[in-house]
Amino acid sequence: MKTRIFLSISASVAILHSGALQAPAGVAPPEETATNPVGFVTVTCPAGSDTRLGIPFTCPPDFRGALAATPGAPAGEELTISANGTPGWTTDEFAGSHYVRFTSGVKSGFWYEVTGNAASSLDIHLNGDNPTGCVEGDTFKLVKFWTLDILFPQGQQTTFTESIGEFPLQQRSQLLFPDTMGTGPNRAESNIYILKAVGSGGNEGWVEVSDGFSPAGDDKLNPDASIIVRNRSADPATEFVPLGHVVTEDVVIGLSTDTVLKQDNPLGLIRPVSLALTELGVDDTSFVQSTSHFPLGRRDELFVYDNTIVGFNKPASSIYYKYLGVWYRDEGLLAGNPVADTDVLPGGAAIQIRKAKTADGATRFLSNTPNY
């Protein structure tokens, strides 16, 4: 896999909003502003292979501000927060399409989907979280979710070979979503998409194969989502060239657990640069240490994938665990498991954290601080 990274400290928001969010290979990064650093990366997706990817950037924030007051009590799973100033929003213009990420305070790094808004307030879905501790002055960003049409616009994207029809022999590259809602380990992908060419008949553009080829251009990706690009053997190699906003604040990722089974959590790193395992941001709550090097002592595990290996449904190329505060790479007891604190995760990597079963089945949270 060939990866090229271009970053700067200022960028043209006009370019980001133009809809051409995939920068063609060889194009210089846009000029920047100090408040909205942007960049793009180029990742080769080989022919005849699955390529696992995270999305290392976000859409540019549509609003940056602070809480005008300490929020009141939530109504069930909904919490209303008020923004400072007079933003003058149109009622519900952000409902379902945007999320709030706190950038300071006790919830710094957490994100919540917007379910409604008024002229200067936002209703956010807590998804089981507790908002206690949010206070007046806590800062936040209002960010649009990536959708398939925004991240991979037809006629501009370079990642997928367009399909000429819906029959299997007419389909070309596929986009697969790992299952983030199911229970247990080793789950199959939950959603499969293709990009249908103009003039191919039926619904054109992005369609979901796993839902009767229904239109899917508006389907959203969570900020910490990972995806799989599947190029058939007959398809050419392609390039993933995301262009977007560089997140310079902490990022918090929820990790599901189960009381009976180990629980897989596929996720993507929202960082455009490489980070060592020690920079991932896990603690003994978010990532339970093993009690020994032996399989019976194994607790949480980190799965990493090598996109330079060509093939479909590839297993993890490396599996890591922590023991006595040190990262180890599992190479089998006979070979010995080397210390791996300095092993590196590439920017925008798609990884998977397998949580050991827990007594309460509650979500744990990983908090990653940028190393740039």
Radius of gyration, alpha carbons of the chain: 21
Residue 178 CB coordination number (10 Å): 22
CA angle 219, 224, 230 (to 5 degrees): 60
Q: Which of 311, 307, 309 is nearest to 348 (CA)?
A: 307
Question: Residue 78, SS3?
Answer: strand
Is the pTM above the cut of 0.85?
yes
Question: Residue 352, SS3?
Answer: strand
CB 245 within 8 A of CB 38: yes
Using CA atoms of 248, 249, 250, 255 in order, give the dihedral in degrees to the nearest 10.
-70
- Residue ranges of the domains in the chain? 63-144, 251-368
CATH architecture assignment, domain 63-144: Beta Barrel (2.40)
pLDDT (tens place) for every residue of the chain, 372 residues total: 444 333 332 222 223 333 334 444 443 343 334 456 899 999 999 999 999 999 999 999 999 999 999 999 999 999 999 999 999 999 999 999 999 999 999 999 999 999 999 999 999 999 989 989 999 999 999 999 999 999 999 999 999 999 999 999 999 999 999 999 999 999 999 999 999 999 999 999 999 999 999 999 999 999 999 999 999 999 999 999 999 999 999 999 999 999 999 999 999 999 999 999 999 999 999 999 999 999 999 999 999 999 999 999 999 999 999 999 999 999 987 778 999 999 999 999 999 999 999 999 999 999 999 999
